[in-house]
A and B are shown apart, each in its own frame.
Chain A
């Protein structure tokens, strides 16, 4: 199964028309893509929960996909929205294990995928904000531990996490 954008557009159109089989294939491809999409930006034990939440959002909001437009930028907007929600949530993971940068599927669409990636969104933050969010919200360190590791004061860590997430929420649809 080739999950390129043209195929996904076709499957999504069929899904909007009530084709259950096409919808199942689309969701399976979307789930695989989402696992790659969130790599290194979410703790491993949270990954499946986040993927499932995005799939539920896709299902609830599938009518908002415009069949004339590319599929992945629509899916990426929903994925980013849910991811920022996850970062906002007050959770602390015990493990610091992140998904390794598993081989991404090289394809002619790679430049498009790069434009909608989470890394590109993260690049919009200041280095201090990105570091604070990575340490506290993704790797699960306490504010005190993050302060020790980064050299930022505890209050600065809190401010950078707060401002960084607020900025991420404001630029969800930004491509680069």
Chain B
């Protein structure tokens, strides 16, 4: 061993303070807590949608929010795992969830642009998009903190999944308050936070995930 390397080893091993190992469970608990707090805050600030407490849901509400929930959980679980690097980890799960949820905007655009559709732009939709984005902030912050403390070796992919996961769960939280159950509304405006989150995560947040 050359002298500088041995000197470095001597120096850093003398600094071996105890550390708390990363565990998936703690990361998931942190993200889960952020999600629960977001839902409670949404219900408190915007109020629960009609029928939420009595279990009356439309089919579109269940399908869209179910897909968003699966997409969000898949991405969040992967982001938490990415904080602890390991050769041999594929991170393939979210790809299938993204492909699955990708059907929704297509259905939304088709329904909105149909002759009897509501059109692609309407004020309530834009309002819902903002609410979904606002609801994703706390979840995104929790995941960002976790990744910054960790060692993600694929920062671009980690940023992308962070944006998609927090956007999807933020949209689910907003869905608890939104009364519009049309596929045109849900497919476009409840998916918009996911798309925006993906772009911000991939091109902005990932820059701060390098170490």
Q: Contact between B151 and A78 (Cβ–Cβ < 8 Å)?
A: yes
Q: Which residues of B contact A77 (CB under 8 A)?
A: 85-87, 151, 153
Residues in A lying within 8 Å of B, measured CB to CB: 15-21, 23-24, 27-28, 31-32, 48, 51-52, 55-57, 59-67, 69, 73-74, 76-78, 80-81, 115-116, 169-170, 172-175
For A34, the closest partner residue in chain B by CB is: B5
Q: Is B115 an interface residue (CB 8 A)?
A: no
Q: Contact between B13 and A23 (Cβ–Cβ < 8 Å)?
A: yes
Q: Is B4 an interface residue (CB 8 A)?
A: yes
Q: Measured between alpha carbons, how far is A107 from B153 in the docked complex, in Å?
A: 28
Q: Secondary structure of the A side of the interface? A: helix
Q: Is B123 an interface residue (CB 8 A)?
A: no
Q: Contact between A173 and B151 (Cβ–Cβ < 8 Å)?
A: no
Q: Contact between B21 and A67 (Cβ–Cβ < 8 Å)?
A: yes
Q: Contact between A27 and B12 (Cβ–Cβ < 8 Å)?
A: yes
Q: Is B122 an interface residue (CB 8 A)?
A: no
| Partner of B21 from A18, A63, A78 at Cβ < 8 Å | A63
Q: Which residues of A contact B24 (CB under 8 A)?
A: 66
Q: Measured between alpha carbons, how far is A79 from B23 in the docked complex, in Å?
A: 21
Q: Contact between A115 and B88 (Cβ–Cβ < 8 Å)?
A: yes
Given contacts A15-B16, A170-B154, A172-B154, contact A52 B85 (CB under 8 A): no
Q: Contact between B91 and A74 (Cβ–Cβ < 8 Å)?
A: no
Q: Contact between A65 and B84 (Cβ–Cβ < 8 Å)?
A: yes
Q: Contact between A76 and B21 (Cβ–Cβ < 8 Å)?
A: no
Q: Measured between alpha carbons, how far is A15 from B59 in the docked complex, in Å?
A: 54
Q: Measured between alpha carbons, how far is A64 from B84 in the docked complex, in Å?
A: 5
Q: Measured between alpha carbons, how far is A28 from B18 in the docked complex, in Å?
A: 19
Q: Contact between B15 and A16 (Cβ–Cβ < 8 Å)?
A: no
Q: Is B1 an interface residue (CB 8 A)?
A: yes
Q: Measured between alpha carbons, how far is A111 from B27 in the docked complex, in Å?
A: 32
Q: Which residues of B contact A20 (CB under 8 A)?
A: 13-14, 16
Q: Measured between alpha carbons, how far is A170 from B202 in the docked complex, in Å?
A: 13
Closest A-B pairs by Cβ, 6 of them: A77-B85, A18-B18, A24-B13, A175-B88, A63-B19, A61-B151
Q: Measured between alpha carbons, how far is A10 from B149 in the docked complex, in Å?
A: 23
Q: Contact between B23 and A66 (Cβ–Cβ < 8 Å)?
A: yes
29 A-B pairs (CB sep. < 8 Å): A16-B18, A18-B17, A19-B16, A20-B13, A20-B16, A24-B10, A27-B12, A59-B15, A61-B151, A61-B211, A63-B20, A63-B21, A63-B149, A64-B22, A64-B83, A64-B85, A65-B22, A65-B84, A66-B86, A69-B86, A77-B85, A78-B151, A81-B153, A169-B154, A170-B154, A170-B157, A172-B154, A173-B153, A173-B154
Q: Is B118 an interface residue (CB 8 A)?
A: no
Q: Measured between alpha carbons, how far is A48 from B2 in the docked complex, in Å?
A: 8
Please name 17 further chain A to chain B contacts, defined as beta carbons within 8 Å, in addition to the given A27-B9, A27-B13, sorted by A numbering. Answer: A20-B13, A28-B1, A55-B5, A64-B22, A64-B85, A73-B86, A76-B87, A77-B86, A77-B153, A78-B85, A81-B85, A115-B87, A115-B88, A172-B153, A173-B85, A173-B153, A173-B154
Q: Is B54 an interface residue (CB 8 A)?
A: no
Q: Which residues of B contact A56 (CB under 8 A)?
A: 8, 12
Q: Contact between A80 and B153 (Cβ–Cβ < 8 Å)?
A: yes
Q: Which residues of B contact A55 (CB under 8 A)?
A: 5, 8-9, 12
